[in-house]
Amino acid sequence: MIKDIVYQHKLEKENMISKEYVFREKLDFAKKFIDSDLIKIIIGPRRAGKSVAAFLLLKGKNFAYLNFDDENLLKVKNYDEIVKAVFEVYPENKYLFFDEIQNLKNWEIFVNKLKRRGYNLILTGSNAKLLSKELGTVLTGRYVPIEIFPFSFREFLSAKGLEIKKEEINVPEIQGRILSYLDEYIRDGGFPEVVVKKLEARTYLETLSNSILFKDVVKRYNVRFSQKIYDLNNYLNSNFSSEFSFSKLRNILEFRSTVTLQNYLSYLEEAFLIFILNRFSFKVKEQIKTPKKVYLVDNGFCSHMSSRFSQDSGRTVENLVFVEILRRGYKPNRGIFFYKTRNNKEVDFLLKKGIKIEQLIQVCYRIEKIGTKERECRALIEACEDLGCNNLLVITWDREAEEII
């Protein structure tokens, strides 16, 4: 029986590797580790392209493939039988690729055993806990994380067939096409199937969101009050790029306790639906106690899962910039924060490496509105005085300039 399952997965693998895909920017980083003895963990939200990224990473390699989204495979109690069946079907394989490994009970012990036996392992997972509690306790220092989010704008343009040469970037026709695609990207987001297969974004994202909530949250954590977590997710989808406090959120959604609310928020974070950002302070206690901000993993959720009747372009673009900063390796509440000045002026993003504050960023969709530029720059300059950081950036729609103030 197990051997039959592995054969079925081999057919899936052959079908997958026969297709052409958009090259993912993270693969240049991942390729450095492909032949190392570190376990390669490709992690991110469902349907963001983790499996495809793994297939691209292993292109031209002799590898075995198992997908642990298959319920028949999860029924197997003796994991050595899985290994035996894999090597019956793939006797010469050099790499083991396990897809959605978090579905397998005690998967980290199984993986650690294979690691000790010297196998080269590539794993994908849709739960952020893979990189913390579950993985860190068993495989400390023996893995490399590779985060895959929905398409970046560069990947989005590649999927649309628009390859731009450096010398063409200032051609008005090219700029117009780029801005047209940027409008679409801001509205519909970058989930690969929406972009490549041109699926209707709203229907696709509603189905995906419900699937993630059921599979990766309600089912995984045995959530008793499932309607509450659906209500919480819907509320956050309509209030992205906004501040919230636990007490206010608890009262609005009528949670019985703050602890339950915090647990539910952590489940949504672990499923890569949301990210919670702290306000920066040199005192960690203040970071914990002050209100937070929430962002969504993809702008399609901002547009199509919100209950708002009109789109707030400023907040939508702010969400887009936040996710792009994540793609560039900054971690929430370690490398990226938001900031309030001594006079309560808000700076959208503070970037930090180690103890050094690297950059302060404001996001403003329309800088030409009366008073807007002055307001945004005043907040940055006041933050600059507070923090001693002179690297100040305003990200706006399509204007590029450098000014001394």
| Arithmetic mean of pLDDT, 188-198 | 96
Using 50, 70 and 90 to split pLDDT, how confident is the model at 135?
low
pLDDT given for residue 327 in this prediction? 96
pLDDT tens, residue by residue, 293-327? 999 999 999 999 987 656 778 999 999 999 999 99
List the end-to-end C-alpha distance of the chain, in Å, as a whole number.
71
Structure tokens at 198: 């041109």
CA distance to 4, 125, 346, 369, 385, per residue, from 404 (Å)? 68, 46, 21, 20, 15
Angle ∠(368,372,378) on CA atoms, nearest 5 = 130
Exposed e or buried b per residue across 330-369, where buried means at least 16 C-beta atoms within 10 angstroms of its C-beta = bebbebbbbbbbeeebebbbbbbeeeebeebbbbbbebee
Give me the phi and psi of 314, to 5 degrees please. Answer: -60, -45
pLDDT given for residue 134 in this prediction? 63
pLDDT given for residue 133 in this prediction? 60
CB of 297 within 8 A of CB of 273? yes
d(Cα 104, Cα 41) in Å, to the nearest integer? Answer: 15
Q: 42 by DSSP, 3-state: which?
A: strand
pLDDT tens, residue by residue, 237-272? 999 999 999 999 999 999 999 999 999 999 999 999
Count of residues for the chain? 405
Q: Which residue has the tokens 């399609």?
A: 300
d(Cα 240, Cα 305) in Å, to the nearest integer? Answer: 11
pLDDT given for residue 270 in this prediction? 94
d(Cα 350, Cα 157) in Å, to the nearest integer? Answer: 28
Write the single-letter amino acid at 364.
C
d(Cα 317, Cα 182) in Å, to the nearest integer? Answer: 10
pLDDT tens, residue by residue, 320-354? 999 999 999 999 999 999 999 999 999 999 999 99
pLDDT given for residue 400 in this prediction? 86
d(Cα 81, Cα 3) in Å, to the nearest integer? Answer: 9
Mean pLDDT (the chain) is: 93
The DSSP code for 317 is: H
* Chain centroid to CA 86: 31
CB of 50 within 8 A of CB of 42? yes
Nearest partner of 153 among 103, 196, 193, 190, judged by Cα: 190
